[in-house]
């Protein structure tokens, strides 16, 4: 099931605003950048860094994920632990809007998304 055109517009609007607020300065971006992508029914926020042994290749390190549950009209919020598995975000396991998700990730109240 794909997102509707309206949902895609909301994701893009909220995601672009999040990047405006949270993305590192231009001069730092070759060493550390931030992005988001749509992956099925989820939106994943991730950082981008060069590999240590191959600086011309880059790693994408997922930090946060929101998965839309159509039957509940809610976004389930997840964070990725060191074991590389996704876990429900205990303080706020779900949000009503994608904008609320990006706001939560930006505020990162427990330091779970970006450390």
Q: What is the pLDDT of residues 32-46, one digit of tens each?
A: 999 999 999 999 999
Mean pLDDT to the nearest integer, 80-90 = 93
Confidence bin at 2 (pLDDT 50/70/90): confident
Share of the chain above pLDDT 90, in %: 90
**Contact status, residue 56 vs residue 68, Cβ threshold 8 Å:** no
Q: What is the pLDDT of residues 57-67, one digit of tens each?
A: 999 999 999 99
Confidence bin at 1 (pLDDT 50/70/90): low
3-state SS, 15-54, equals HHHHHHHHCCCCCCCCCCEEEEEEECCEEEEEEEEECCCC
Helices 5-22 & 98-107 angle (0-180, nearest 10): 20
pLDDT at 91 over 70: yes
Mean pLDDT to the nearest integer, 94-102 = 98
Give this prediction's pTM: 0.93
């Amino acid at each position: 099931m794909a997102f509707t055109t309206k949902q895609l517009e909301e994701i893009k609007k909220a995601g672009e605003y999040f990047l405006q607020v949270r993305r590192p300065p231009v001069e730092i971006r070759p060493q550390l950048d931030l992005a988001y992508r749509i992956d099925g029914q989820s939106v994943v926020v991730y950082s981008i860094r060069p590999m240590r042994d191959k600086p011309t290749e880059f790693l994408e390190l997922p930090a946060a994920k929101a998965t839309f549950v159509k039957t509940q009209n809610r976004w389930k919020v997840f964070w990725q632990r060191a074991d590389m598995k996704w876990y429900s975000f205990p303080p706020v396991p779900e949000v009503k809007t994608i904008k609320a998700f990006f706001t939560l990730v930006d505020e990162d109240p427990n330091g779970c998304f970006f450390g």
